[in-house]
Amino acid sequence: MSFATGHLRTNPLPPGIVGALSLSGYQLLAEVAGVGAGRLGSQVFLVIAPEPDLRLPDIGTQISLHQPRLRDERQAAVFVQLAAQLGYLRLSGYRLAVERAGLRSKVSLVNPATGAIMIQIPEKHPGGLFGGGGRSAAPSLLAVARALPPAGPPPDLQSPELLRQALVALALSDETLGAAQAVEVADRALELCRQDQSLDPVAALASARSR
């Protein structure tokens, strides 16, 4: 399942959730395949578009792993990288199962081939960003997500939309790039891929960074 670029901007968190959590005017730091990182002041969180299911009512975009008091502003990058990695895994075939927990949602990354839950993301971040939380803390979740193999073949690189999202996800995983820089590098890499279709995404990104 994939979502068009900009899905979370055109389908933001529902007004009721935004109002109740005092998140009016939150900033979307990054987005890949319907998974993003949101920020407002000291608050940082994941923003997730659930998988469409015609059997159930549409619950709209949801918030997960909500961290109300981010102690170090620089660590918001961990949420950006986690969102990008989850989006990339979704592009490869994993599914994100959303379960409402009050105003927020728990999210499970599911391997559709086996039905196994590979990652469980709580509705709220446990404790400080690096001050505890164990397996459900953002850095631990990011490490597990990065260690997972793709669920299936890479995204269809013949599709400019999917290729761009894959490039953005890979660029955001580079800790030396800010979110805006990563998008710029991904766009340059996309142009290189259009010029030379033999380039794979990793090689295109490396070339784009050197320019």
- Tell me the percentage of the chain whose pLDDT exceeds 70: 92
Domain end, chosen from 97, 124, 147, is at 147
Instruction: Give tens-digit pLDDT for 50-97.
Output: 988 777 777 899 999 999 988 777 788 899 999 999 999 998 889 999
Look at 153 and 165; give whichever has higher pLDDT: 165
Regarding whether 203 and 111 lie in a shared domain, the answer is no
- Residue 56's Cα: distance from chain center in Å? 23
User: Measured between alpha carbons, how far is 156 from 126 in angstroms, rounded to an integer?
Assistant: 36
CA distances from 12 to 50, 129, 189 (A): 12, 24, 28
Regarding whether 96 and 177 lie in a shared domain, the answer is no
User: Is position 153 within any domain?
Assistant: no
Q: What amino acid occupies position 58?
A: D
State pTM to two decimals: 0.85
pLDDT at 76: 87
Regarding whether 167 and 133 lie in a shared domain, the answer is no
Q: Who contacts 52 (Cβ-Cβ below 8 Å, separation ≥6)? A: 1, 58
Q: How many domains does the chain have?
A: 2
Domain with 179, as residue range(s), is 160-209
Q: Who contacts 133 (Cβ-Cβ below 8 Å, separation ≥6)? A: 125, 126, 127, 140
Instruction: Give tens-digit pLDDT for 164-188.
Output: 888 888 888 887 777 788 888 888 9
CA dihedral for 46, 50, 56, 60, sign (positive or negative): positive
Regarding whether 111 and 164 lie in a shared domain, the answer is no
User: Is position 77 within any domain?
Assistant: yes
pLDDT at 133: 59
